[in-house]
Amino acid sequence: MSLLRIDASIRHDGSASRALADTAQDHWLRTTTDTRVVRREVGVTPLPSDAWARALSASAATDQDRTAEEREALDLTALLVDELAAADAYLFAVPLYNFGVSQHFKTYVDLVVADFRMGPGSRPVTAGKPGVLVTVQGGNYSPGTPKEGWDHATAWMRRILEDVWEIDLDIVTREFTLVGVNPALDAFTEMAERIETAAHADARHAGRRLAKRQVESASR
């Protein structure tokens, strides 16, 4: 059984999204057997931002008319989709940046969709496979909070992963990751600690459930 893990955090040390994803991955490994984890870093090792445009240009041109850069872009899209096709399950760790989706994860999504196997009219190679989306927010944008609705990333990621890519998706969220970093949030220290504890409990459950759903998906 193979797990494809995508990390979009721009840092290693102190990354809350990585920590939650580590918890989910650890419990996936404990629950399943004959496992293999393939990792792709799109935050600390970004994909080229101009590759999507080149891939689209290449798709509209004949092979002999394609530039070397366009061929490289097509090869990259094929590689990314090959990784998705080879995996039995998925773990996406994507933090909220500036109230929106990580630019690095957006670039990843654009390149994947540029491949004919994931584009309009095709049944995606990810269809029916289980996945977990781990996402974290520095503040708290839950219903009833002063900044309710400021999270412009989670709903978009859900549309892509769940509706467009047809992944059987679980979502694990942790808010208030900037408590202890931003003094303006010091009043929420105890709440942030409870949220962190609950989020890791959710991640443990999601990891175990991912393994179970993976087996069920493979037996269909």
pLDDT exceeds cutoff 90 at 121 = no
Q: Is 148 exposed, middle or buried (0-12, 13-18, 19+ CB in 10 A)?
A: exposed
Say which range, 32-41, 130-139, 191-200, 201-210, has the weakest mean pLDDT.
32-41
149-203 per-position pLDDT tens digit: 999 999 999 999 999 999 999 999 999 999 999 999 999 999 999 999 999 999 9
Contact (CB, 8 A) for 141 and 64: no
Query: At 215, is the pLDDT very low, low, confident or very high (cuts 50, 70, 90)?
Result: confident
Closest C-alpha among 168, 153, 175 to residue 101: 153
The answer to whether the CB of 42 falls within 8 A of the CB of 104 is: yes
Task: Write out the DSSP string of 148-180.
Answer: TT---SHHHHHIIIIIIS--EEEEEEE--TTTT
Summarize the confidence of residues 93-97 as an average pLDDT. Answer: 97
pLDDT at 219: 66
Q: 17 near 9, Cβ under 8 Å?
A: yes
Instruction: Give the tens place of pLDDT for each residue, 39-70.
Output: 999 999 999 999 999 999 998 888 888 999 99
CB-based contact 149:169 (threshold 8 Å): no
pLDDT of residue 70: 93
Task: Give the span between the Cα atoms of 7 and 17, in whole angstroms.
Answer: 8
Alpha-helical segments (H) within 87-139: 103-114
Task: Look at strands 2-7 and 89-93 and give their pairing.
Answer: parallel
Degrees, nearest 5: CA angle 125-129-131: 115
Residues 6-28 have pLDDT tens digits of 999 999 999 999 999 999 999 99
